[in-house]
Amino acid sequence: MPHTLTVDGKKYPLNSQQTLLENLESQAIKAEFHCRDGHCGACRCTLVSGQVNYITYPMAYLRENEILLCCSQSKSDISITR
């Protein structure tokens, strides 16, 4: 069963082969980004629930409940707030 991406309370289908940033872009959800490589932190957001897998090690500073959208893929249903 496909996973679900919840952004600020709204639900979207989630493609686990794409990064979370690519998922937001494919749903035409506005997302902040700059480097797309885990360095700048512009794509940082709060992970409400779910688990992600980093395809590139996140270099930007993250608090415990924060993730980088540009370099992570979903391992489960994901809920984020921005």
- Burial readout 17-36 (b: 16 or more C-beta within 10 A, e: otherwise): eebbbbbbeeeeeebebeeb
36 binds ligand FES (CB under 6 A): yes
68 binds ligand FES (CB under 6 A): yes
Residue from the set 26, 34, 51, 62 that interacts with ligand FES by CB under 6 A: 34
- How far is residue 6 CA from its own chain's centroid? 10
23 binds ligand FES (CB under 6 A): no
43 binds ligand FES (CB under 6 A): yes
25 binds ligand FES (CB under 6 A): no
